[in-house]
A and B are shown apart, each in its own frame.
Chain A
């Protein structure tokens, strides 16, 4: 298996622009997670899905952030409008619900908002 695939790996944008991050989970995994990592706050859980349905979005910072999972093999995290404080590495992870929840992470999308 190719593992969790994220795109883009790097994104530089200007404040106010829309940003869309993409994730393809491991086939057969029914849980998908979006995390954000910064030096100051570490790795924060933003939202996670089970069978394409959002289970907990209490970590989403504000209305500028939205996440969707239209099918089992694709998810997006959108920021609109973006702000400099959104600069971080965004990780997607997946796991299979029958197991104990070992998370498989992608390589991350590094976002810089100027």
Chain B
């Protein structure tokens, strides 16, 4: 069956540390994988996209890796801040580039001051 799993429903880390979130999937060969941030009561907001032929993508304090052999993406936030506290969702294009994006259940990150 179609499945996207994100590690631990909730993750607490200390301010200044690196947060690492995991997205694992089965039965797909996605052309693109995206990461979104969602704050309570708001819609998800796009953060990063990585293509199937890319290993790593960076944007400021964010880094995403994509291992199509392991069927896994890692999302890192370096020098984490309390303002980074939110739910983070990964999304896969399962339509071969047709924008049919399905989402993981998300990881709720809390950065402690």
Residues in chain A within 8 A of chain B (CB atoms): 4, 31, 33, 35, 42-45, 48, 55-56, 91, 93, 95, 97, 100-108
| CB <8 Å contact, A56 and B95 | yes
Residues in chain B within 8 A of chain A (CB atoms): 32, 34, 36, 41-46, 49, 51, 89, 91, 93, 95, 98-106
List, in ascending order, chain B residues with CB within 8 A of A35's CB.
103
The answer to whether residues A91 and B43 also contact, given A42-B105, A101-B93, A102-B49 and a CB cut-off of 8 A, is yes
The answer to whether residues A45 and B101 also contact, given A102-B49, A106-B43 and a CB cut-off of 8 A, is yes
The answer to whether residues A48 and B100 also contact, given A93-B43, A107-B42 and a CB cut-off of 8 A, is yes
Instruction: Describe B's contact surface by its main secondary structure.
Output: strand
Which of B43, B46, B51, B98 meets A107, CB within 8 Å? B43
| CB <8 Å contact, B95 and A42 | no
Shortest C-beta distance, B16 to chain A (Å), equals: 29
| CB <8 Å contact, A101 and B101 | yes
> Which of chain A's residues has its CB closest to B97's CB?
A101
How distant is the Cα of A101 from the Cα of B95 in the complex, in angstroms? 12
How distant is the Cα of A4 from the Cα of B43 in the complex, in angstroms? 10
Candidate in A35, A55, A97, A101 with the most chain B CB atoms within 10 angstroms? A101
| CB <8 Å contact, B46 and A43 | no
The answer to whether residues A105 and B43 also contact, given A43-B89, A100-B32, A100-B49 and a CB cut-off of 8 A, is yes
> Which of chain B's residues has its CB closest to A96's CB?
B99
The answer to whether residues A102 and B100 also contact, given A107-B43, A108-B43 and a CB cut-off of 8 A, is no
